[in-house]
Structure 1
Amino acid sequence: MSSMLHQARASFAFFERNWNLTKRYWAWEVVWLFYNVVNALSITFIAQATPDLKPAQVNYMILYLLIGTSVWTYLSVTFDGVTDVINIEHWEGTIEYTFMAPISRLTHMIGSCWYAIVHGLLFTALQLIVVVLFFHLDLSHANYLTVVFMLLLGSISFIGFGIATSVLPLLYTEKGMQMSFIVRAVILLVSGVYYPVTVLPAWMQPLSWLSPATYVLNGLRAGLLSGKELWSPEVWSNIWPLLITGAVSIPVGMWIFRMAERYAKRTGKLKRNG
């Protein structure tokens, strides 16, 4: 019991540390929030610029694009919340001390990932509020329980992918963060963020089945656009793939990270020179 309490406190310590890093670089938070809001507005204006659409169709398309850009913001912030912490510690030369701390790697990653989820939800909520007010969207028919549940469930899978991707800044100090953008770009391409996956070439569509973002987007659109409840077939058909993806991605992500950590320690890649 005392051991579990120690690990819980240690996990919260990483949460608190990441919060302090956010406060330290608060100006960047403002910049990225502004960027994400403007990006969301730029994309949703496409709906109003599309000719020959009735008002109801314009509202539907705005919501469709808004859900896509919001999930993309959440995915990006969550990914960065895991990978950027590794990158910052590597650059500041403190990652060796973190890896020598008397805690399990799971405790370390849980603390970082929990903060990434909270950070991502806050960013996404602020963006949604601004865009909804800007376009005066009617969300009275939305099922918010479905929306929140799908985001939280999707977070588990996103975190698994984020942990696996964080090995890139761990192993490659200068280019690791840029390399992690490739993973996000592939997810953006195949997940139907701004269009249905059915428009993808036939050989590319199976890739969308591996992306948790595909199921999160489908569930969110069912909840926001159609007001579907959690137990409806349209939502449940996206819940069980997320459960499987989360159950697989986190253990696999942790295994990949442990292997990369051992390799980095053995080859001296944790030491930053210059």
Structure 2
Amino acid sequence: MAENPLHELPTALIALMLVCALLLALFASNALGRRTATRQPKQLELGPLETMASGLLGLLLAFNFSIAQSRFDARQEMLVREADAIGTAYLRCSVLAEDDRRSCREKFRQYVALRIETYAVYKSGARNTDELRRKLDEGEHLQHQLWTIVAGAVRQSPDPPHTALMTALNSVIDLDSDRRASLRIQVPIIVSVVIALSCIAWAVLLGYSSGLNGSGSRTAWVVVSVLISLVFGVAMDFDRPRSGFITTSAAEVAMTNVANSINMPPVD
């Protein structure tokens, strides 16, 4: 799966690197500004430019955070819908003949167990691994087996209950495809780089302007740098819903609940 290369790095490390870069930019540019002020006392007023840069940076961070959070919420909602669709399809297996019903339900149990195992692989951060590809291939194989069973039953008896089962199974397959696609769609690396560079450029401007005026609170700089890095890091974490600190736990709970319900003795 192609993804933002920054996602290979831990979120905490990315935030720490940005904090260090911001503080370095602030202190270095402040020292340069103070040195310039001693040599050339009369300098341009950078206050309006500093205010504009601060507003633009805030807008960029807010926009990036909002987009990442909305996509995270959409992914989680889709995963919960997938769990619901699996539960519905499993219940509708009761319309099948006894042999097909037993086989179909067993395939669904295997499929749900496999989905939970796939969650564990994602949460370990082991993307693009042979294990992950094997889990995904097994899932597609089980989907094909389920479709073969249901399609055969519909051909023999194309009545509403059987077609309803096929519709439910089709929803399961479609939602799985949507889930995989959503994991591939991430914030492009260029966006992350532009925002990070904007943060550093803002720090340079703030530090230099403060140096010209002979002002600047180091404590405030540290606090602001940490806050900016936290916002940037959390936005990136939203974009890695399986392996980050913020995971789609509600979806995993929903799938676990489905696993518990379908492993109960069936009532036909």
- Higher RCO (C-alpha 8 Å, min separation 6): 2
> Same fold per TM (> 0.5)?
no
Q: Please, what TM-score do these two structures have when normalized by structure 2?
A: 0.29
Say which one has the larger Rg. 2
